[in-house]
Structure 1
Amino acid sequence: MQRPWGLSGPEFLQLYWIGLALAVLVAIVVRVRVRAGHSASPERFLDMDELAYLAGGPRRVVETAIARLLTSGELRTSRRGAVQATSTGLPLNAVDRAVITDSQRYTNRTVDLMIPAVAKDDVVTAIGRRLEEMGLVVRPEVAKSAARKGSIALWVLFAIGVVRWFNGRAIGAPVGYLSLLLVLTGVLALLLMRRSKHVRTSKGNKVLDAARTTSSRAAMPDEALYAGAAGLVLFGGLAVYPDLAVRSSLLASSSGSSSGYAGGDGGSSYSSCSSSSSSCSSGSSCGSSCGGGCGGGCGG
């Protein structure tokens, strides 16, 4: 049987490497372009729930609301991670009301059940749509299409390699290196087809970075948006809730609930404040750097 395209083994492998590099480059370019984003709404400041969505998606919105309600006394926790509404009568925003409604609907509602349920509520998904219109996050269908289109070249190259592999086997030619290349191509194609469930645009990353910078000096009165436990959870999830007892109770039933957004957002900037509740009570290590977050979280 003749070799297809009249290429020797080394020549084909050389061209295959070039094709693989180009295919990966195409996939990267497609992803970068979809993250560029285009705004259809005027610039404005984001509220806490919008920033939470930008930082960690709909789950982070619910986590931030839970932290806000625990601080205000609208929610209380049990040792097994259940949360219960206390109905103090304080004014609540739409997301807070959704959390309270969910906690009242079930007995001994744990946060690992509450978070995904409320994350699908219309008040939370509406936040995502607003951020999409502002060009801060990528529409899920657009992100999915970009991931699929970006991997097409790799799958075409993989198909060509498979044809060559069968031809090589038929004529008794060595196919060891080609087999390794096919495995590499398949792995790369699968990885590049994967996408984050929620993807920020480059503009969204800039807005979030600016918010993080502001949060580092959030003790100022005009920057109270980031103060308290909710301000910490907004950026780092429930894993950085400042009160150790409450955090342990919440995380006992919600492992993985602080999943990242668009590649993940850690809470390392705030770890010094969340290491123990005792550091909050002393007031020495968390006062200004956390914007008062420990005061609100540890007092209750």
Structure 2
Amino acid sequence: MSHLRLLCALTFCGLALGVHDVAPIMAAEPADPWPGLVQDIFNNRAMNDGADVLAIEMPYRAEDAAIVPVTLRSKLAPDDTRRVKTITLVIDQNPAPMAAKFELGSDAKVSEISTRVRVNNYTNVHAVAELSDGQLYMVKTFVKASGGCSAPAAKNLEAGNHLGQMKYRQFVRDDQGPASGPREAQIMIGHPNNSGLQMDQITHLYIPAFFIDQLHIWQDNSPVLSMEGGISISEDPNIRFTYVSNGAKTFRAEAKDTSGHVFAKEWKVDNSGS
């Protein structure tokens, strides 16, 4: 009986000890970074529900965390007298959460912007539009992806051969008029856009951050779109957008990177509507 009592006592102590030890190990829910980001990025300004103002589209589960597509679309009604002045894209759990801030030309009526971003952890992604009424309007979505900021740039070895090369594509839309009306275009820039978190596979040293941090786009001399970029924009940045043509004969873009390089190019615009 004494051996049985000892065994029971040890078993009870072990169970008690197990419960005691497990409790502190149970992971608490990670703190929501969004309130701090509102303070840091938006100076703690009030956020309004943006469901009727802006839409954000991203895959719920990304196929490749280093090139996650994102589309930002204005939902303002045609008779709404307000206009979207800026859209800020925030990837909450990324090392540098502010992925990009887009400033929309006052006359270009940009209604949609698409690009590709890196996502480092499962995260909420917020888009915040500032309207001409001075108010901020926020929407969000959730993305399951991880490791995007540290994933090696696929074209890093050939970066010197295509660094700063810029391409322009114009897309035909069913609702596009012969000289004006909605148009869709894309600007692509050859650049590794190193995040600073990627490791050289040969030296095992971290590659310094090196990315496009400014992009400006005009039709003739009228601003269409500008972007302040960060480490979350994927390599070989491309921006696809919908705007209203003013009948311009040329389209031009200028980009700058964190090493001071300036890349600029101009293209002729096809106004035939075909």
Structure 1 and Structure 2 fold alike (TM over 0.5): no
TM-score, normalised on structure 1? Answer: 0.23
- Specify which structure has the bigger relative contact order, considering alpha-carbon pairs within 8 angstroms and separated by 6 or more residues: 1
More strand by share: 2
